Amino acid sequence: MIKIIHTGDLHLDAPFTLEDPSRARERRDELRESFRALTAYIRDEGIELCLMAGDLTERGYATKETADLLASEFAACPGCRFVIAPGNHDYYRPDGFYAGGGFPKNVYVFTETAPSSFDFPELGCTVYGFAFTAPYLDRNPMQGVRPDDPSRINVLCAHADTSSPISRYCPMTERDIVDCGFDYAALGHIHNSRGIKHEGNVYWAYCGALEGRDYSESGYKGAITGTLDKRDGLLSVSLRGMRFSRRRYADDRLNVTGAAEPAEAAEALSALIARNGYGSDTLLRVTFEGSVSPSFSVSKSDLSVAADGLYSFEPIDATVPLFDREKLERDSTIRGAFYRRLRPDLEHGTPEERARAAAALRYGLAALDGNEFVDF
């Protein structure tokens, strides 16, 4: 039985796009902390094999400091073998990071696109894989490759894309994975893990990113860990996801139909935050939607008290000022005519057309009412 952990898509040194530059720096440091938490776990649990499925660093941003961090953390886990399959960001170059990284002896890096393997007889395990050697890899090098010795625990560690057969990032279908017949395929590239899949005795998973970096990478992130065992040809796999991320992105929606006052949006936001347990670990974005009074609009300053306990907060106003639409429908003045002119876009437009028409209605009705519209 071997104890493994599967990580990847760390993107150490990645820039975080946050409004506040000090927060962006803090997030970069926290990402390093998450990696240190992972290596601490490796030590504490006696993990024997760490599969690193590419994109350890961000292209163009990897620093000497990051190389030193990786080397020192690997060295601090002498009982664990680290196998690295470079991806499209940290692709292998003879003059690059991995070639001259000064990594300790327990680090094994794939260096070419042709399939190769590292054998660990003491674990009864062989790890197959390949490296990106450029930002793109248009074909799947593992096609037709089978494990040499079926009595071993045979693992694939690879940066590959199962989402499209024409991907430029090593297109690999789930059928390809099953056909290869590895016991476990530890994959990287897709930053949101979809859990551990299997067909028959072939298991595979994306570990996902270690820390989310934007709202498209929402939820807690981490690694996959557990055991692989094979006795008398009988495979047993026991793996689970484990959180290592310090924070999470959350992208939520709030329907505020009928709202006329900013306080109503604040109240709805407070309830949402309480309901979903969003706290100081959460970077929350909320899209406000629904038909509202034409005088209503969403502004960050009105919501700052409600959002106070969050790490960061970003509101998006997608409300439509249609709350008194029946009245506008019957309105025979220029207000009604203005509304009816905008109605097709408000009701059937693309999201951009709707947003533009909604803004036009707000500004227009406010102007017709003799109010100067104050935009925040």
Nearer to Mn ion, 205 or 303 (CB): 205
DSSP category for residue 376: -
Nearer to Mn ion, 9 or 13 (CB): 9
Nearer to Mn ion, 133 or 154 (CB): 133
Give yes or no for a contact between 5 and 38, defined as CB atoms under 8 angstroms apart: yes
Residue type, 336: G
Phi, psi of 230 (to 5 degrees): -145, 120
**Contact between 58 and Mn ion (CB under 5 A)?**
no
Nearer to Mn ion, 9 or 345 (CB): 9
10 three-state secondary structure: coil
CB of 253 to Mn ion, least distance (A): 27
CB of 89 to Mn ion, least distance (A): 6
Nearer to Mn ion, 2 or 56 (CB): 56
Stretch that binds Mn ion, among 54-62, 117-125, 164-172, 254-262 (CB under 5 A): 54-62
Stretch that binds Mn ion, among 3-11, 38-46, 143-151, 296-304 (CB under 5 A): 3-11
Q: How far is CA 276 from the centre of its chain?
A: 19
CB of 189 to Mn ion, least distance (A): 6
In the bound state, the residue with its beta carbon closest to Mn ion is 55
Q: How far, in Å, CA of 268 to CA of 259, rounded?
A: 10
**Contact between 55 and Mn ion (CB under 5 A)?**
yes
Stretch that binds Mn ion, among 13-21, 49-57, 230-238, 364-372 (CB under 5 A): 49-57
CB of 260 to Mn ion, least distance (A): 45
**Contact between 13 and Mn ion (CB under 5 A)?**
no
CB of 163 to Mn ion, least distance (A): 13
CB of 11 to Mn ion, least distance (A): 6
Cβ neighbours around 229 below 10 Å, total: 14
Nearer to Mn ion, 84 or 237 (CB): 84
CB of 75 to Mn ion, least distance (A): 25
Nearest to 131 by CA among 173, 161, 88: 88
List Cβ<8 Å contacts ≥24 apart for 336-345. 338/364, 338/365, 338/368, 339/365
Give yes or no for a contact between 9 and 221, defined as CB atoms under 8 angstroms apart: no
Q: How far, in Å, CA of 283 to CA of 17, rounded?
A: 12
Residues in the chain: 376
Nearer to Mn ion, 187 or 355 (CB): 187
Nearer to Mn ion, 103 or 169 (CB): 169
Question: Which class for 61: exposed (0-12), middle (13-18), buried (19 or more C-beta within 10 A)?
Answer: middle
CB of 101 to Mn ion, least distance (A): 19
Contacts of 110 (CB under 8 A, 6+ apart): 83, 84, 85, 86, 92, 116, 129, 130, 131, 157
Nearest to 53 by CA among 25, 27, 74, 83: 83
CB of 10 to Mn ion, least distance (A): 9
Stretch that binds Mn ion, among 1-9, 220-228, 266-274, 290-298 (CB under 5 A): 1-9
Nearer to Mn ion, 55 or 176 (CB): 55
Cα distances from 42 to residues 3, 10, 67, 82, 131, in angstroms, run: 9, 16, 19, 11, 24
328 three-state secondary structure: helix
**Contact between 217 and Mn ion (CB under 5 A)?**
no
**Contact between 9 and Mn ion (CB under 5 A)?**
yes
Positions in the binding site for Mn ion (CB under 5 A): 9, 55
